[in-house]
Amino acid sequence: MADPGAREHAPQRAVAGRPARFDFTGRTALVTGAAGGIGGAIAAGLAASGATVWSLDRDDTVRAAADRIGGHTIVGDVRDPGLPEAALSRIGDVDLLVLAAGVQVRTTGSGITEDDWQRLADVNLSGPYRMIRAAVPHLRRRGGGSVLAVSSMSADRAVAGIVPYGATKAALSHLIRGLAVELGEHRIRLNGIAPGYVLTAMTGSLLADEERAARIRERIPLGRPADPEEMVGPSLFLLSDAAAYVTGQILAVDGGYALS
């Protein structure tokens, strides 16, 4: 049942003969990891499509990124259990939540240190989980809303050298699917994207190694890694009313890598 008090910007169904609008005017978005390549690109895409955007990151450069897109900033660490409530009490209600903050540790699965394991689990899994949990009452007050998590192709594929990272992303994807089942009745949709290789700080040193980069390119059907901007269209689609009947899906945005 729809929640009483749902506001005018509640998600809309498509109207017959007219495609649902790919437009975020009047919507408020919180984007974590917004100082980074993918989070920053999605935040900019949302702002350009009419949303009021709050950019969150632990990296102070998020202030400049938010200024460039005409939005607001929250500097904070998603490992802090108090951050979601503190952030949401500043923002008020949100309609859209994008979970892009993440870290990667390149190491063997059996050789990872306790500290690195804890950091991966805290940032990539507990951070998004706490943020969603805190946002649910806000999304319900808005009559529903949409969550997008940035998972990874390594969630479903065993990639040597990033197995613990992949395990946190597999758990994140599972969380998205499971919460989509539980929260559908409140008109809250949760989806994810699973990027392959994207040219950001996270992959900088890996893709700077020309030999490795060539091997990676060979395995990607589209023949190249992605620019962060190429994550924006699929993300905005999943967040928008154009995807009003899509929930619990993790969309591969990987140039076909998962098929190869």
Q: Which residues are catalytic?
A: 165
Kindly write out the interface string for residues 96-115 of this chain, putting x where it contacts ligand NAD by CB under 6 A and - elsewhere.
----xxxxx-----------
- Confirm or reject binding of residue 11 to ligand NAD (CB under 6 A): no
Q: Specify whether the CB–CB gap between 241 and 11 falls below 8 A.
A: yes
**Cβ atoms < 10 Å from Cβ of 244:** 16
Q: How far apart are CA 119 and CA 62, in angstroms?
A: 21
Residue with tokens 């900033």: 73
- Confirm or reject binding of residue 148 to ligand NAD (CB under 6 A): no
Q: How far apart are CA 92 and CA 27, in angstroms?
A: 12
Q: How far is the CB of 93 from ligand NAD (least distance, A)?
A: 22
- Confirm or reject binding of residue 131 to ligand NAD (CB under 6 A): no
Which segment (5-13, 174-182, 196-204, 243-251) binds ligand NAD by CB under 6 A? 196-204
Q: Measuring CA to CA, how many Å separate 43 from each of 52, 62, 117?
A: 10, 11, 28
Residue nearer to ligand NAD on the CB measure, 48 or 199? 199
Burial class from Cβ neighbours inside 10 Å (0-12, 13-18, 19+) for residue 18 reads: exposed
- Confirm or reject binding of residue 9 to ligand NAD (CB under 6 A): no
Residue nearer to ligand NAD on the CB measure, 84 or 144? 84
SS3 195: strand
Residues binding ligand NAD (CB under 6 A) = 33, 35-39, 57-59, 77-79, 100-104, 123, 150, 152, 195, 197-198, 200-203
